[in-house]
Amino acid sequence: MLIDTHIRPALFAPICGDAARFERRCDEMNFHLMKPSPLPLLKKQYALADIRKAALLPEDCSAETGTPAISNDEIAALVALEPDFFLGLAAVDPRRADACQELERAFTTLGLRGLVVNTARLKMYPGDPRLLPLYDLCRAHKKPILFHAGLCLEKDALAKYARPVEFEEVVAAYPEVNICLAHMGWPWVQETAALLLKYPNLYANTALMNFDGPYQIYHKVFREEMGEYWLEHNIAGQVMFGSDSPRIRPVRAKRGLDSIAMDPETREKVYWRNAAKFFGLEGLCDEI
Amino acid sequence: MKFKLKEVPICANKEFEMLRITDEVRDYVAESGVENGVVFVITEHTTTGITVNESLPCVEKDLMEMLDRAAPEDYPYHHNHYLRSYGTIGGNAPGHLKSLLTGNHCVFPVVEGRVKLGSAADIYFCEYDGIKNRKYMIYVMGE
């Protein structure tokens, strides 16, 4: 069983009805030559990896682009189609005049379960004062924050704003908030591991398909860039499965992780227990 | 001379699967009105195949396992890299190689309005990169 903490629903057919909007979204998020997929087909693909729940990540740089690439309302609409399967997250461009109201609406009216922030796309550092009111709202609502961390393959994004060490002040300042550095902060994996070691409210996900295939990249990250026992003995309670679909199909990401030796308890944590803890779903997941 | 084309949608239930399509081909040949000619069965995709073999579960399993041995999932393929043209990682190299081994089509005679197949022969659509919505073509030529 798995919880996928990192799916970008850019190609989900129910939100791809407007062809011009779909094209703009794909251009902004750097997805090309691919068609929208119907939900039943996507769910069959997720079932191949035994995914039981999947977090959907929106994208809002609307202060630059005029409209979110994937809006909170679109995420909520997708969750409404499969409420037991999808976990919807919110995104708000902090440069919007109504940023706090929109995040409040996303949490209270739309029922979204956390905040996604991509500082590489926003071109602002994680400690930028414009972001702090959004973090305060997450603290007030007891919602987690998932930061894009490390290299961002999207158009017009700069990795320097998302280097793992840049997140330390925020992680330290919000100890009550569960915070995830996505993609293990790749390529700065050791920085991410170091922060995980120190901060118990910090998590990371495995959505790091960049070089090579899944068998090679996970070995490189978890067996070469990190010491052999770092995951198993030190940070087993903080690493969560994430596929980064549609950049890689979840079943392939899972096969890559399956090839990394770990004891069954650690694998269970990485595959779903840590995500259940991160999203506050412990009771829910025991029923799956 | 008649030329009749049908595109048939198909979707596997597994990532790798042999789907028997003999009846679909027979039915379309009968429907086409061609009495004597040939029928081509052609896949539209590059990580699928069309082949003929005996429809026994043990044979199907041996064929798929042989293809897995020839193109294992964990080999460091050249295709396993970030594709700027898609914005994705090329993860389906084994599917492309299995497609090469199987071929993209089969051809059969049409005699007196029926497909001529050997007694043990069945036609298969082979999925090597599922699960996806796919199409194959049945193209009947003759009189």
Residue-wise pLDDT tens digits, A9-23? 999 999 999 999 999
Quote ipTM for the complex.
0.90
**pLDDT of the residue at A29:** 94
Residues of B in contact with A220 (CB under 8 A): none
The shares of helix, strand and coil residues in chain B, as percent rounded to the nearest 5, are 25, 40, 35
- Which one of A32, A151, A260 would you mutate to disrupt binding with B, by most B Cβ within 10 Å of its Cβ? A32
Confidence of residue A286 (pLDDT cuts 50, 70, 90): low
Residues in chain A with CB shorter than 8 Å from the CB of B134 are none
Summarize pLDDT for A211-257 with one digit per residue, the tens.
898 999 999 999 999 999 999 999 999 999 999 999 999 999 999 99
Q: How far apart are CA A5 and CA A143, in angstroms?
A: 15
Give the distance from residue B84's alpha carbon to the nearest chain A alpha carbon, in angstroms: 8
- pLDDT band, very low/low/confident/very high, at A209 (cuts 50, 70, 90): confident
* Residue A288 clears pLDDT 60, i.e. is over it: no
Residue A287 pLDDT > 60, yes or no? Answer: no
pLDDT score, position A210: 84
pLDDT at position B89, please?
A: 87
Name the one residue in this structure whose structure tokens are 């030529």: B141
Nearest of A76, A71, A74, A112 to residue A92 by alpha carbon: A71
Cα dist from A261 to A90, A237, B91, whole Å:
34, 16, 22
Nearest residue on chain B to A34, judged by CA atoms?
Answer: B86
Amino acid letter for position A51: I
pLDDT digits (tens, 9 = 90+) for A225-235: 999 999 999 99
Query: What are the structural domains of chain A?
Result: 2-286 (3.20.20.140)
pLDDT above 90 for A90: yes
Q: Is A252 on the interface with B (CB under 8 A)?
A: yes
Taking residues A73-86, report their average pLDDT.
98
| Fold of the CATH domain B2-142 | Jelly Rolls (2.60.120)
Q: Does B74 touch chain A (CB under 8 A)?
A: yes
Instruction: Decide if pLDDT at A75 tops 80.
Output: yes
Contact B131 A246 (CB under 8 A): no
pLDDT of residue A282: 79
Enter the pTM of the model. Answer: 0.95
pLDDT at residue A284 in the model: 66
Residue ranges in chain B whose pLDDT is less than 70 = none
Q: Are B8 and B24 in contact (CB under 8 A)?
A: yes
Smallest CA-to-CA distance from B124 within B26, B64, B51, B41 is with B51
Beta bridge partners of A3: A53
DSSP E strand boundaries for A40-104:
51-56, 86-88
SS3 letters across A211-279? CCCHHHHHHHHHHHHCCCCHHHHCCCCCEECCCCECCCCHHHHHHHHHCCCCCHHHHHHHHHHHHHHHC
CA distance B5 to A273: 52
CA distance B53 to B6: 23
C-alpha distance from A111 to closest chain B C-alpha (Å): 31
Per residue in A169-187, pLDDT tens? Answer: 999 999 999 999 999 999 9
Tokens of B114: 């029926």
Task: Using alpha carbons, list the distances in angstroms from residue A278 to A166, A196, A275.
Answer: 21, 14, 5
